[in-house]
Amino acid sequence: MAATDATPKFQNRDFRPVPQPPDFHPEVVVSAHDGLRFWQFMIAGSIAGSVEHMAMFPVDTLKTHMQAMGSCPIKSVALGQALRSILKSDGPSGLYRGIGAMGLGAGPAHAVYFSVYEVCKKFFSGGNPNNSAAHAVSGVCATVASDAVFTPMDMVKQRLQLTNSPYKGVLDCVRRVMKEEGLRAFYASYRTTVIMNAPFTAVHFATYEAAKRGLREVSPDSVNDEGWVVHATAGAVAGALAAAVTTPLDVVKTQLQCQGVCGCDRFKTGSMRDVFRTIIEKDGYRGLMRGWMPRMLFHAPAAAICWSTYEASKSFFEELNSNSADRVVT
């Protein structure tokens, strides 16, 4: 009886349900930031980067073979011929040469990449999660920082990927390059890598955030149920587009990192202009698009894997933080 008498006290007309029109759809609200700690962004990014690159490594090996020029790489840009050439000379294991260097570089680099991106996105967005310019600028800041970590191991990885590579493994490559060419060789392509990855990342992040927002608006009622599909689809679109736009710069980067190995050209100045000129003289303008197909085949699924893994890791940490906060309150 007491409970029945108390009920009217909590009846407030401000809390009565408001009838909605039949065509009403709830607005998808995206938080400006996920509320994770800095180290959680780093772990999520490290996991995502490692899974992405390990899963797609054979395709990356094909791309490296097609982009390198000289006596060691094949002359044709055909994807099938590149695969047959590698299998004939090194067998299936040839597709995974250099994966150790990738493992050492991808985790730390992506930890820096995503943590810097999230911090910059929070700073530049000004509380507006739909700010595409903020996403692009944040992506550029992230790639400048992460490339400083990844470039040395990427150079080692690409030299090991070449057919008949003179190096026995990661440590042998690091030791010999340091002895014969010095520390500068590890960063010979850093400037080119940053110049390539800056527009790549700007296009990638802006496209990803826009595609993710668009996909969520198509079916706002099932956002939570199909979250991984949204992240994977948006990531694949963003990765493919960014890869296609920046292929010429990726060819230049491969040339600089593989110069002097297995008969590949060595450049006197190491400038981008010198490399561009050499490529055009030897193979015409089409040479600048060497490896565009495996590059897109790499980045589309790689970005889908990376973003879905990253968002899944973030969701895990968000739930972990929520549970910790609940325990503190109780």
Q: Which one-letter amino acid corresponds to residue 194? A: V
pLDDT, tens digit, for every residue of 267-280?
777 788 888 888 88
How far is CA 263 from its chain centroid? 30
What is the Cα–Cα distance from 39 to 36, expressed in whole angstroms?
8
Q: List, for residues 224-237, the tens digit of each pLDDT value.
A: 555 778 888 888 98
Based on its alpha-carbon atoms, the radius of gyration of the chain, rounded to whole angstroms, reads: 24
Contacts of 262 (CB under 8 A, 6+ apart): 68, 70, 71, 72, 73, 162, 163, 164, 165, 166
Check whether 204 has a pLDDT greater than 60.
yes
The whole-number pLDDT of residue 73 equals 45
- Element of type H or E holding 190: helix 190-218
Return the half-sphere exposure (C-beta side, CA atoms, 13 A cut-off) of residue 60: 21
| pLDDT tens sequence across 158-168 | 999 887 888 98
pLDDT cut 70: percent of the chain above it: 81
Number of alpha helices (DSSP H) and beta strands (DSSP E) in the chain: 12, 0
**What confidence score (pLDDT) does residue 7 get?**
46
pLDDT of residue 179 exceeding 90, the answer is yes
pLDDT at res. 9: 46
Q: Is the pLDDT of residue 149 over 90?
A: yes
* Contact in structure between 264 and 70 (CB atoms under 8 Å): yes
Compute the average pLDDT of residues 300-317: 87
Residue 262 binned pLDDT confidence (cut-offs 50, 70, 90): low
The token duo for 63 is 């791309």
Mapping DSSP to helix (H, G, I), strand (E, B) and coil, where does residue 70 land? strand
Report how far residue 308's alpha carbon sits from residue 306's, in angstroms, rounded to the nearest whole number. 6
Q: What does pTM read for this prediction?
A: 0.69
Q: Which pLDDT band holds residue 147 (cuts at 50, 70, 90)?
A: very high
Say yes or no to pLDDT of 110 above 60: yes
Structure tokens at 323: 């549970």
At 136, the pLDDT band (50, 70, 90 cuts) reads confident
| CA–CA separation, 251 and 131 (whole Å) | 32
CB 296 within 8 A of CB 79: no
Looking at this protein, which amino acid is placed at residue 190?
Answer: Y
pLDDT at 172 over 90: yes
Predicted local distance difference test score (pLDDT) of residue 27: 43
Read off the pLDDT band of 38 (50, 70, 90): confident
pLDDT attached to residue 108: 92
Distance CA(71)–CA(247), nearest Å, equals: 22
